[in-house]
Amino acid sequence: MELGINYFDTAATYGDGQSEENLGPVLAKLSRRPLVGSKVALQADELADIPSAVRRSVERSLRRLGVDHLDLLHLHNRVTNERAPGEVVAIGPLLTVAEMLGPHGVQEAFEELRREGKVRHYGMCAFGGEVSAYNRVIDEGTFESVLVFYNVLNPSSGRAMPTAFAQHDYGQVIDRAAAKGMGTVALRILEAGALSGVAAPHELNRGGTSSDPERARNAERALALDFLREEGETLAQAAIRFALAKAGVSTCLVGFSDTEQILEAAECSGRAGFSSEQMARLDALYSNDFGILA
């Protein structure tokens, strides 16, 4: 808070509620409250009654956090046009556009909680599903923010990529959301620690996303990015600076395992972006998958 960080992001699924339980007592001790955002992850057996499931999740989050409202509530599930039977991504089933926007759907449930004062603003995940589906929700819905996947290894949420780009393309959703006046919360800006400049995950971050087999490949890709660092700057700081420089990004989520990493991240605020020469070198890397052979 003293460093100017005023938004804390958590979720009901993080540690099965433990993240919220850890944050709650700290919030109670602060002389002023930061903005707090959490998430709802619906499960397959809850889709028959989405409003009730959303309400139960939010009320449990409020109790764990010891607060009377959430400043920002995101739907954690990803969005698709048509869900295959049993199809699950990450934290639960994909939700269809109809389940998002239709009667008794997510938007209606979120809006009811806002009218009651339990939620101030609400948003959705705009990655991990189908680009055309979350574009429809952005265009037709009343969601106010999107969670987006955005980092220097894969910035496709915020720019057109070369034809030869080998990774998933998130379809410039940041620009689409910004054009609708929506906020954008960028996550994975350090790619689960692969952009930290350290090969192995921190001991407190093992067993999560940093243990994904793709992390090692991303850490290898990151080796080609040393030219982005300013003198005395770490690779993590260059990666954070890249995310902060994107127009339309409202806030960047930075995970941390010790307080030194918080200080390292906070030092990036207000720093300059990158030169046209550096961006041209990045384009070349995007075209050949950072020199990694499949």
What confidence category does residue 101 fall into, taking pLDDT thresholds of 50, 70 and 90?
A: very high
Q: Is the pLDDT of residue 206 over 70?
A: no
The pLDDT assigned to 200 comes to 64
Query: What six digits make up the tokens of 184?
Result: 């954008």
Residue 174: per-residue pLDDT: 97
67-71, 130-134, 210-214, 266-270: which has the minimum mean pLDDT? Answer: 210-214
Q: Give CA 194 to chain center in angstroms.
A: 16
What is the percent of the chain where pLDDT is above 90? 82
Residue extents of the structural domains in the chain: 7-291
Which whole-number Å values give the CA distances from 160 to 6, 8, 77, 172, 276, in the listed order?
Answer: 31, 30, 25, 7, 16
Mean pLDDT, all residues of the chain: 92
Rounded CA separation 51/57 (Å): 10
The pLDDT of residue 90 is: 81
Question: What pLDDT is stored for residue 202 in this prediction?
Answer: 63
> Looking at residues 215-242, what average pLDDT do you find?
94
Q: What is the pLDDT of residue 207?
A: 57
**b or e along 215-231 (b: 16 or more beta carbons within 10 Å of the residue's beta carbon)?**
bebbbebbebbeebbee
CA 164 – CA 150 distance, rounded (Å): 19
**pLDDT at residue 122 greater than cutoff 70:** yes
pTM attached to this predicted model: 0.93
Q: Is the pLDDT of residue 209 over 80?
A: no
The full length of the chain comes to 294
Backbone angles phi, psi at 120, to 5 degrees: -90, -45
pLDDT class for 89, splitting at 50, 70, 90?
confident
Give the per-residue pLDDT at 84.
85
Q: Is the pLDDT of residue 181 over 60?
A: yes
CATH class of 7-291: alpha beta
> Interior CA angle at 138 toward 132 and 141, to 5°?
120
Which tens digit of pLDDT belongs to each residue from 10-29?
999 999 999 999 999 999 99
pLDDT for 111 beyond 70: yes
User: How confident is the model over 38-57, as pLDDT tens digits?
Assistant: 999 999 999 999 999 999 99
Inter-CA distances, 271 with 95, 238, 240, Å: 39, 10, 10
Band of pLDDT at residue 216, cut at 50, 70 and 90: confident
- Is residue 87's pLDDT more than 90? no
Nearest to 240 by CA among 225, 224, 252: 252
